[in-house]
């Protein structure tokens, strides 16, 4: 029965992806607590080549698969990264990783390992640059320098004129496992739940109607592969 096969494939795909999605969510929640949003915006927030390169380099050594990288990419995008930097991170991370690099070196040697790392970087960087060119985001421009003092400086009674107000903004809150879990499994999971669900449904449909002898068909018609 087609409906039963579809539900079986949907359940199988969900079970296969669940551990990696959960790991990615937890990793993203911990990073969100440890890395300030201002730092992400500073290095990855601009529509520049440097932000794309930085995100690519940051993503290459992470031992995260194509499933686990989804929450991480969503997290850095919410923290202020540009579309190009986010896409570069999304591409470079699952292609390579410390574990994958070591495995490649053990099987194929250092020449092929370097080739794999370089080509992965090039693909991710080109994709990020093209995204910044054809899908630009509006950058928030900083106000130009003015000789006139802002009202907050002119008025001594302003809360920002006191030390308590300004110092409280500079103090970074300590690591909170509760906040990390809340960000991971409430905020991030809520953001990716809908597209993730429809992706699983689409994958289950394709798997259900895919011919069981697909490999034989591709061998007979090599142009299809």
Distance CA 115, CA 149 (A): 56
Domain ranges of the chain: 19-137+177-197
pLDDT per residue as tens digits for the range 174-201: 778 889 899 889 988 888 899 999 999 9
71 by DSSP, 3-state: which?
helix
Q: What is the pLDDT of residue 111?
A: 92
Average pLDDT value for residue range 76-104: 88
pTM, rounded to two decimals:
0.69
Q: For residue 215, give both structure tokens.
A: 């490999």
pLDDT per residue as tens digits for the range 128-146: 999 999 877 665 444 444 4
Q: How confident is the model at residue 224 (pLDDT cuts 50, 70, 90)?
A: low
Q: What is the pLDDT of residue 99?
A: 76
């Amino acid at each position: 029965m087609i409906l039963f096969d579809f539900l079986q494939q949907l359940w199988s795909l969900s079970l296969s992806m669940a551990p990696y999605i959960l790991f990615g969510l937890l990793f993203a929640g911990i990073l969100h607590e440890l890395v300030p949003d201002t730092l992400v915006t500073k290095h990855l927030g601009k529509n520049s080549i440097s932000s794309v390169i930085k995100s690519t380099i940051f993503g290459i050594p992470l031992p995260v698969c194509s499933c686990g990288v989804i929450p991480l990419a969503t997290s850095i995008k919410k923290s202020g990264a540009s579309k190009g930097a986010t896409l570069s991170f999304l591409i470079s991370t699952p292609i390579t990783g410390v574990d994958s690099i070591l495995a490649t070196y053990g099987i194929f040697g250092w020449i092929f390992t370097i080739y794999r790392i370089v080509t992965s970087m090039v693909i991710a960087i080109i994709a990020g640059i093209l995204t910044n060119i054809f899908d630009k985001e509006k950058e928030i421009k900083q106000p130009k320098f003015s000789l006139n003092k802002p009202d907050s400086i002119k008025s001594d009674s302003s809360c920002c004129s006191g030390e308590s107000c300004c110092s409280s903004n500079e103090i970074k809150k300590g690591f909170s496992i509760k906040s990390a879990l809340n960000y991971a499994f409430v905020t991030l999971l809520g953001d990716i739940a809908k597209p993730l669900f429809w992706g699983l449904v689409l994958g289950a449909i394709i798997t259900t109607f895919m011919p069981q002898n697909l490999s034989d068909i591709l061998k007979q018609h090599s142009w299809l592969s």
